[in-house]
Amino acid sequence: MMQTRLLSHFTALFFLFSSTVSYAENKTQPEEAVWYSVEYILFENKPLSNQALEPWTKQPFQMPVDAIALDALSEAKAFSPLNINQQQLHAVNERLERLSSYTPIAHGGWLQPLKEKEKRHAIQIIHQADNIQIEGILTFHRGRYLHLDVDLQLSDMIPSAIEDDYLSNSIIQTSNLYRLTETRRIRT
C-alpha cells in the first residue's frame, strides 16, 4: 500500500471559465484584459499494477521570489482566491472522492486578468494534508492560445521521534520528492 502510494503520481485538473469581454474592433486602442476564473483540483492517481508511471524531475522545487500568494483579505480583484460559492468544480471533486483510483488533495482557484503576450504571473500553491505537502506554482498565460505552466512538488512527510533524557519531540522529515513540470495549451 505504502509503495503504491509512493509510486503513484498526482495530477492537476484544470478548468477555466472566462467571463465575456468584447474585443475592440479598432486595433489602435489598447487591448482590454479578459478576466478568467482559474480553478484547479490536485489529486493523487493510484495506478494499476500494469500502468506506466510518469517520469519525475529529480531537482527540488524552489519558490520564485515573484510568485503571487493568493490573499483572501486583499481588496484587489486580480489574483484573489475564488470563494467556495464561486468554485464550479465541486461535483467533479466529489466524483473523484468516490472513485477508488483517485484521491483529491486540494481544490482552489483565483481570478486573473489576461492580455495577449503580457508578463506571466506565477501563482503560489502550498497545501499540506496528512503526511503530504504540495508546493509549487501555476502560471496561466496567453500568447496566440491560452497556456498553463505547472511546476508542482509533492513531498511525503514522515514523522521521526527524537528521544533524549531532557527532550522528547517529533520532527517531520521529507522522505520522497515528486516534481511535476508540464506546459499545456488550454482549449476553451
C-alpha cell recorded at residue 9: 503520481
Name the pTM for this structure.
0.75
Model confidence over 36-79: pLDDT tens digits? 999 999 998 887 776 666 667 778 899 999 999 999 888 889 99
Dist CA 45 CA 96 (whole Å): 10
Dist CA 183 CA 148 (whole Å): 6
From the number of C-beta atoms within 10 Å of its C-beta (0-12, 13-18, 19+), residue 83 rates as exposed
Domains: count for the chain = 1
Query: What are the start-end ranges of the H helices in 15-105?
Result: 90-98
C-alpha cell recorded at residue 181: 513540470
Mean pLDDT of 170-183: 76
C-alpha cell recorded at residue 156: 511525503
Model confidence over 115-172: pLDDT tens digits? 887 899 999 999 998 888 999 999 999 988 899 999 999 988 776 655 555 555 555 5
Domain range spanning residue 123? 2-186
Dist CA 152 CA 105 (whole Å): 13
